[in-house]
Amino acid sequence: MMEILTFLLRLAGAGLVLLAVSHIPIGRHLKWTEDARGMSPVNRSIFHVHTIFICVVLVMMGLPCLLEPRIFLEPSRAGSWLAWSISAFWGLRLYFQWFVYRADLWRGKRLETAMHWWFTFVWIGLAALFALCGMWQAWISG
């Protein structure tokens, strides 16, 4: 079981780092620069800073998974907190995917609908993976 979780954590880590880097083409596709020009200077600055910090958080979540997945699997209070916290983070992100984003932004649009469903499965997978790590820690240390 530990080998499977280690593999899945490395896969998730690579995916999270890739997601951070993919914000560049995503931003171009969604025309963030053009949209930001219409914002007030303070809102434009906040938008850019938040986007950068989202990418930093994704990398900071991804690198431990990719380089040191045992952090989430070896019994420790810190590892348990980390696993459950990241699981809650992605569970909350899943909630926002369905109940905060307006459905008319994706329904009836082929690419947007495909992306909505793709990310739904990604968020479910990440929340479940880190919950499994938290349960694994409880089981082996219990």
Spatial distance between the Cα atoms of 136 and 142, rounded to a whole number of angstroms: 10
* Cα three-residue angle 121-124-130, rounded to 5 degrees: 135
Model confidence at 142: pLDDT above 80:
no
Same domain, 69 and 86: no
pLDDT digits (tens, 9 = 90+) for 80-92: 999 999 999 999 9
Question: Nearest-CA neighbor of 2 among 142, 139, 136, 131?
Answer: 136
Asked if 97 contacts 119 with a C-beta cutoff of 8 angstroms, the reply is yes
Asked if 131 contacts 92 with a C-beta cutoff of 8 angstroms, the reply is no
**Residue positions counted in the chain:** 142
Same domain, 136 and 79: yes
pLDDT value at residue 139: 85
Kindly tell me the sign of the dihedral angle through the C-alpha atoms of 101, 102, 105, 110: positive
Of the residues 73, 89, 105, the one at which a domain ends: 73
Show the domain range for 141.
74-142
| Structural domain total, the chain | 2
Mean pLDDT in the chain? Answer: 95
Confidence of residue 141 (pLDDT cuts 50, 70, 90): low
Asked if 113 contacts 46 with a C-beta cutoff of 8 angstroms, the reply is no
% of residues, the chain, pLDDT over 70:
99
pLDDT value at residue 5: 96
Same domain, 131 and 79: yes
Mean pLDDT of 20-26: 95
pTM of the model as a whole: 0.90
